[in-house]
Amino acid sequence: MGLKSQVLLPQYPIREKCKELMLTEEQLRQIMKTFHHELLLGLGKKTHDNATVKCFVTYVQDLPTGRETGKFLALDLGGTNFRVLLIELSENHFEMKSKIFAIPQHIMLGSGEQLFDHIADCLAKFMKEENIMKEKLALGFTFSFPLKQLGLTKGILKSWTKGFNCSGVVGNDVVQLLRDAIKRRGDINLHIFAILNDTTGTLMSCAWKNHSCKIGLIIGTGSNACYVEKQKNAELFDEPDGGSGNVLINTEWGAFGDNGTLDFLRTQYDKTIDQNSINPGQQLFEKMISGMYMGELVRLALERFTKEGLLFGGKGSDLLFSKGRFYTKYVSEIESDYSGVYTNCREILEELGLKHASEQDCVNVRFVCECVSRRAAHLVSAALVTLLNKMDEPHVTVGIDGSVYRFHPHFHNLMMEKISQLINPHLKFDLMLSEDGSGRGAALVAACASGKSR
């Protein structure tokens, strides 16, 4: 007693085995180079069809001015929850009401018709509650999956991601599917003015507040980014220039690596995650980064180390050995413990049936979490810097949303540090947390499209 207890370090064999999760600056620079090449393939007319990073044109040419006005409905589908919003915009001010509805698993994996009927049903319930059934409002639809847009109100679904797999939707125009579902009910009256990605919504929402915002980034269940590109570089953009000379590009960077370009750094955990997913071979970059997979990456490493006798005295638990039972929020919680303290860590390990964990086990578990989340933050940073360098604007604000960025205690700092190291030295950037999700962004795009913007 009285003596300071010795600070424990993660054990040598675990440190060694986790080295493959640590990316060197050289590796990150190589990723940037490859990603830049893939972006150009996505933007090019001749190369787009075979490109992995699709760089879809969004048909949004203008960023908000802050002078948009009107009352709008917005739908936000893209994760485990679905939101309906009512937004009133006036000069530099907005009010928003929203309701969250769950998307049950059987609908995520059911038919497209069921999904869109469910969406229309939630919309009708919300409109009834808000007493707006009789108003013909403009609607913006945030639909956060890879869409090949053919206009502001036409988008063909290329593939499902993030655990969705509804039949009969891929290859179809989702705006039409929503219109059909609304028609089937016959009790709602509205005008769909825009379909957009959550990254576009986030960019618009942040740009409304901060005019230097030119990138929208999501690090949540999935991951993706959208940025302001010059129309002349977006070879598939086929509408007249409304004056800005720009168009927002939805990169769909989650699919980066699907052609093997990231194989040099994929670990056995990445491969297992992919094999066990409902979309093997797809969204490989996303699977290394986002909230749908981060907890499972940690669990796979912990399972391996336990079976090798390096953790918990070689004695695991049913939960630790069950797919999907180490939630991504655990990673954030474990890393939220002050250094040298393992309160959250112990609680989580107990929840997982690992009461017998020693202090050294806690140190090791935390270290594995840090390696996985650091790698995610570094990969996102490398892709983001590629966009910042490509845009070559003196100062860009990045609007960011998503549970990983929002709740992980160190993600922001890890990104700040890595981006500063990789960015071209004459460029300045900052990272801005989006406060209002992409709902306001949907209203803003609808406002511009419906002419309620000056």
- Residues in contact with ligand BGC by CB under 6 A are 78, 144-146, 161-162, 197-199, 218, 220, 222-224, 252, 254, 286
Q: Which is nearer to ligand BGC, 148 or 346 (CB)?
A: 148
Alpha-carbon separation of residue 357 from 172, 319, 330, 338, 368 (angstroms): 51, 14, 16, 18, 15
**Alpha-carbon span 405 to 217, nearest angstrom:** 10
Sequence-ordered alpha helix ranges (H) in 130-266: 174-185, 198-209
Please, what is the angle between helix 411-422 and helix 25-43, to 10°?
A: 80
Alpha-carbon separation of residue 112 from 168, 385, 433 (angstroms): 6, 37, 33
Q: Which is nearer to ligand BGC, 254 or 316 (CB)?
A: 254
DSSP 107-124: HHTSBHHHHHHHHHHHHH
Cβ of residue 254: shortest distance to ligand BGC, in angstroms?
5
Which residue is at the shortest CB distance from ligand BGC?
A: 222
SS3 224: strand
Q: Which is nearer to ligand BGC, 116 or 293 (CB)?
A: 293
SS3 302: helix
Cβ of residue 51: shortest distance to ligand BGC, in angstroms?
15
Pick the catalytic residue from 76, 117, 173, 198: 198
Q: Which is nearer to ligand BGC, 166 or 348 (CB)?
A: 166
**Alpha-carbon span 40 to 61, nearest angstrom:** 19
Cβ of residue 380: shortest distance to ligand BGC, in angstroms?
12
Q: Which amino acid is at 135?
A: E
Strand partners for 420: none
Cβ of residue 90: shortest distance to ligand BGC, in angstroms?
29
Cβ of residue 312: shortest distance to ligand BGC, in angstroms?
34
Residue 198 annotated to the active site: yes
Cβ of residue 204: shortest distance to ligand BGC, in angstroms?
14
Half-sphere exposure of 94 (CA within 13 A, CB side): 27
Q: Which is nearer to ligand BGC, 155 or 316 (CB)?
A: 155
Q: Which is nearer to ligand BGC, 254 or 439 (CB)?
A: 254
**Alpha-carbon span 371 to 222, nearest angstrom:** 19
Q: CB-based contacts of 184: which residues, under 8 Å, 6+ apart?
A: 117, 120
For residue 249, which of 298, 214, 219, 213 has the smallest C-alpha distance?
A: 214
Cβ of residue 138: shortest distance to ligand BGC, in angstroms?
23
Q: Which amino acid is at 43?
A: L
Strand partners for 396: 429
Q: Which is nearer to ligand BGC, 61 or 161 (CB)?
A: 161
* Residue 5: DSSP 8-state: P
Sequence-ordered alpha helix ranges (H) in 69-138: 105-108, 112-129
SS3 82: strand
Pick the catalytic residue from 162, 214, 418, 452: 162
Catalogue the active-site residues. Answer: 162, 198
